[in-house]
Chain A
Amino acid sequence: MKFTVDRAVLLKALAHVQSVVERRNTIPILANVLIDAKTEGNLTLTATDMEIAVVEEVAGVTVARGGRTTAPAATLYEIVRKLPEGARVELDHGGGDGPLTLRAGKFNTTLAVLPVDDFPSMTEGRLPTKFAIKAGVLRDLIDRTRFAISTEETRYYLNGIYLHAAEAEGAPVLRAVATDGHRLARVEEPLPEGAKGMPGVIVPRKTVNEVRKLAEETQDEIEIRLSDTKIRFGLGTVALTSKLIDGTFPEYERVIPRGNDKKLTVPKKDFEEAVARVAAISSERSRPVKLSISRNNLLLTANSPEQGQAQEELDADTVAYESSPLEIGFQARYLTDITAQIGDKVEFLFADGAAPTIVKDEAKPEALYVLMPMRV
C-alpha cells in the first residue's frame, strides 16, 4: 500500500475517525485506524470501539499501490496535525508485519501496525427505516436534550436519547427525549418522510456526541437509517454506525404534568445571570437555589453553611407572574442547563413547591423541559 494525500484532507478525515477510538483501551487493535487504499484512487479510514464504527471516504488521494493495514489512530492524528500546512503526506506500507512509513517533506517516521484481520468489523444488518433530516434540525434535537442524559449505570436505558415517532396535536412528529430522573427534556420536529412507523430507539450518549461533532461541519441533509438494534448516520463522506441501547425507555408522558397553571415568565439573560451569581456562594453543586415568587416578583436565594446567604431580586420590570405566591428550589446547574437552550424568554409552569415544574422557551413550543424540585 502506498498513497499520497494532502495533509489537510487526511487531518480532517483522521479527526473524524480517531475520536471514537477509546483512549484507555485494553484491546490494542481498537486503538488503531483501518487504512484501506484501493488502486482506483479511493481511500477509506475506519475506526471502531465495537459499539460505534466510523467510516470515512477520502477523496483526492493518489494511490500508487493498493493495500490495507491498521495503525495507531491517536498517534497518526497527532503527527499529521503537527505537519506543516500544505504538506503532501505519503503513507507507505510494504505489507505483512512491516511498519507503516509516513513521509512529508523532510520528515519521516515509522508506525507499528497490527494485522488487518484482527480489526473488528461491525455488521450493520438490515436497516429498514430510512429518512433524511437537516443537519441544523438534528443539532437542535441533540443540543436541547443531551444535557439531560443520565450517566448512572444502574438505569442504563437512560444513558441515551430516546428517538421515536409520536403525535403532537394531531400532527406526526419525531421526538427526542432524555432524562436522568431529575430533569427531562422533550423536543419534537415534524416527522421526516420515511420515519413513519420507525421503532423507538435509544441512541447512546457517546454516539450522540460523535454525531453532534460531525453534524457541526455540515448544513446538508443527514441520512438516518435504523433498525431496532442499530442506527446509521450518513453525513456526506462520513458514515457512523452505532449499536442502540437495548432497553425500554420509561413512559415519560406520564411524568409530564398537565395541570401546572402558575405561569412565570422572565428574560433568560437576567434569570440565568442571577442564578449563577447567587449559586456562586456555595461550591457544593447540589445545593438548591430557592425561587420565592410573588406577583411580578422573583427572589432568588442560595445558602452556604460557610458563607451565609446570597440573594437577588427580579421585579416587575422583567418578571411576569399573576398566581398565588410560591416557594420552590432547584439545583442551580439544572436550571442553567435548561436556560442555555432557551432564546429570550423563559416560561415556567408550576403546580406547587413540591411538584415537577415545566420549563419552556416562550418562542419555541416544540421544546419542553420538566424539572424536579429540591426541598428547600
Chain B
Amino acid sequence: MPSLCRDCLRHAAQPFGRCPACGSRRTVTHPDLFHLTVAHVDCDAFYASVEKRDRPDLLTKPVIVGGGKRGVVAAACYLARTRGVRSAMPMFKALAACPDAVVIKPEMAKYVREGRRIRALMEALTPLVQPLSIDEAVLDLTGTEALHGAPPAVVLARFARQVEKEVGVTVSIGLAANRLMAKLAAERDKPRGFAVIGAGEAAGWLAPQPVSLLPGIGPAMAKRLQAAGFSTLGQLAALSPREAMQRFGEDGPSLAARARGEDERRVIPDRETKSISAETTFEADIAARAALEAPLWRMCEKLARRLKEKDLAAAGVTLKLKTAAFATRTRAARLPQPTRLPDVLFAAAQPLLAREADGTAFRLIGIGAQPLVQAAEADRGDLADPEAPKRAARWAAVEALRARFGDDAVVKGRGLKMGRRE
C-alpha cells in the first residue's frame, strides 16, 4: 500500500506511518493513492485565514469575519469554530458563544485577489480546473503524471505546501475517483487535510451517513426524504433507477446513483462564469403567485449579491420553477440594459412568473443571470431610465447597512415571509 509524506513529499509503494525521511506524522496511506486523479480543493476558513495572515497578532485569537454586532458570520477561524461559532450564524449568537472573538469587516476585493492567486497555482497543475467559488475548485489531473513526473497525489501535496508558503493560507484536499467523492473527502479532513476515498469504498462509506450529507440535499429535501422513510444514504442507494424515478421523478435515478457515490460529471474548466443563479426549495409547495413572489424577491437579492461578489452583471434573467411533480420549467427574458439591481431582476422575472403561476404547485423557485457581462456595463441608465445610477447607489447603501447591521437591518416588504415573523 503506497504512502506519501505531505511535508517532504517522500513517497513509496510500501506503507509508512511516520515519514522515514523527515519524521513527519503528516502522511497519507491508501491503496489507490497513486491512481486517483480527481481532487477537490477547499481553502480553510478562507476569509479568516487571509485576515490572520495579514495581522499576525491575531494568530492565537479567535477571529470572525462578518458584519457588526447584528450581522452574520461570513467566516470563522478554527479557533472560533472550536467555541461553537459557525458560518451564517447571527453575530450576537457567535459573540455569545465566543465573547473574546475579534470581529473583522469583510474585505471582498482582497479575498477575490487571493483566491485568484490560488487559482493561478492550480492552473499550473492541470488545464482542467473548475472553480466552484472564490476559495473552492475541483481539478482533474488525469494524464498529468508524465508532465509532472509524479502521480497526482504528490503534485497536490506539493501544491498545498506551495499555497501555504506563497499565499499564507491552508487548504484541504479531497482525492477520489469522481467529483462528488472528492468533495466529500475534502470535507472529511479539515483543516489542512488530505483525505482519500477510493472508488471501491465509496458506497460502503456513504451507506450509514445521513441523507443530508449529500450535496444538493438541503434541509427541505432532507425532511421530505425522511418523511418518505429515507434517513441514510444506504437506503437511497438501494433504489433501482425505476423505483427512484417513481418516487422522486426525473431527478430520482441520479439521486440514487449519487447516494452510491457515483458521479458522472466531468471537470469543465470554465474560467469564465457563464451564469450565476440563486434558488430555494420551499418547506411546503406554493401555488399562489403572490406567495411565490416573496421567495423570488429574496432570490433576486441573493443573485444581486452574487453578481456583485463576482463583479459581473446580468444582461438577461432566467426564471426557474420546479413543480410539485418535479418537472422543471425555465423561462428567460433579455434585459433592456445590464443590471446588478435586485428590483430590475425582479421586474424582469415577475411577468415570466405571472405566466407560469397558473395554479400549479411549485416546490422550488430560482433566478439566474444569463448572459453575463462586465459590471461596468450595468445600471448606467439610458434615455428612458435616467434614474438607474441613483437606484444603484441606493442599493449599494442598503447593502452597506446590511454588511454592518445584518441582513434584517433593511428588508423590502415584498421579501417578508407571509404569516409569520422572522
On A, residues with C-beta under 8 Å from B are 150, 152-155, 158, 179-184, 250, 252, 254-255, 356, 370, 372
Contact = CB atoms under 8 A, between A and B. Distances in A.
A150 B385 CA distance: 13
Given A154-B347, A154-B348, A250 B385 contact: yes
B383 A370 contact: yes
Contacts of A158: 384
25 contacts: A150-B384, A153-B333, A153-B351, A154-B333, A154-B335, A154-B336, A154-B347, A154-B348, A155-B336, A155-B384, A155-B385, A158-B384, A179-B383, A181-B337, A181-B383, A181-B384, A181-B385, A182-B382, A182-B383, A250-B384, A250-B385, A250-B386, A255-B386, A356-B383, A372-B383
A149 to B, nearest CB: 11
Contacts of A254: 386
A35 to B, nearest CB: 36
Max count, chain B CB within 10 A of own CB: residue among A183, A252, A255, A370: A255
Contacts of B386: 250, 254-255
B123 to A, nearest CB: 27
A255 B336 contact: no
A195 to B, nearest CB: 25
Nearest to B380: A372
B40 to A, nearest CB: 39
Contacts of A153: 333, 351
Given A158-B384, A184-B384, A250-B383, 6 more contacts: A154-B333, A154-B335, A154-B351, A180-B384, A181-B337, A181-B383
Contacts of A255: 383-384, 386
Contact of A181 (B336, B347, B348, B351): B336
A38 B336 CA distance: 51
A153 B337 CA distance: 13
B337 to A, nearest CB: 7
A356 B336 CA distance: 18
A356 B385 CA distance: 13
B385 A152 contact: no
Nearest to A181: B382
Contacts of B382: 181-182, 372
Interface in B13-34: none
Contacts of A155: 336, 384-385
Max count, chain A CB within 10 A of own CB: residue among B382, B383, B385, B386: B383
B336 A152 contact: yes
**Interchain residue pairs A-B with the least CB separation, the first 6:** A181-B382, A181-B384, A184-B383, A255-B383, A250-B384, A255-B386
